Amino acid sequence: MIAYLKGSFIDITPSSVIVDVQGIGYEVHISLHTYSQIQGQSSGLLYTHLLIKEDAHLLYGFADIEEKNIFKLLLSVSGIGANTARLILSYMKPFEITQAIANGDSRALERIKGIGKKTAERTVLELKDKIGKQPTENIIPAETTSASTTRNMRQDALDALQALGINRQAAEQHIIRICQAEPDIQLEELIKKVLKGL
């Protein structure tokens, strides 16, 4: 198992990053939470989880160990796969997820596109006891920096939303509408608003 990767960040998008580790480039799938932590950095360390499927080996990366632990806990819930877990971590920060589960607030999870009432309730039921054992006091929301100037912000947002399983046409319509209303919006906030509006 690959526990973490430490190297240069070659290309960072809201849904993935290529990490160069001594000349080998690893494609790592990330959440918006991790993106907000590492955007603007040229190198660093990502905690990783390797998911082996019949047709692919997928590497998921996390800026902090708390997010990785929550990702693994979410995967243990029946009906939640890696993409859904990443979507939850893109919609809510790790400490928000732990608070919702600890408080039995399944409605907070229901507001996430693709999470139905039964899945939200099952997540709270199965993880409430486990989540209390996860250290959350060091999970602090990161300050966001300006979006990358090397890529078009709307395209970055569209790529990230498609990677999260959102329909391209629906995502495009929401991106255009939000950008027209808020021309100075930051990339992370744009993606979150699209997710809330779908």
**196 conformational bin, left if phi > 0, alpha if psi -120 to 50, beta if neither:** alpha
Kindly list the averaged pLDDT for each block of 10 residues, start to end, along the chain of length 198: 93 95 96 93 96 91 94 93 93 90 91 89 91 47 36 81 85 86 87 85
CA 198/CA 60 separation, integer angstroms: 25
pLDDT score for 132: 58
Q: Please write the tens of the pLDDT for every residue from 142-167.
A: 333 333 332 478 888 888 888 888 88
Encoded tokens for 70: 């929550």
Q: Under a CB-based contact definition with an 8 Å cutoff, are residues 117 and 106 in contact?
A: yes
pLDDT score at 146: 39
> Ramachandran region of residue 22, left (φ > 0), alpha (ψ -120 to 50) or beta?
left
* Domains of the chain from N-terminus onward: 4-62 (2.40.50.140), 65-131 (1.10.150.20), 153-197 (1.10.8)
Say how far apart CA 180 and CA 183 lie, in whole Å: 6
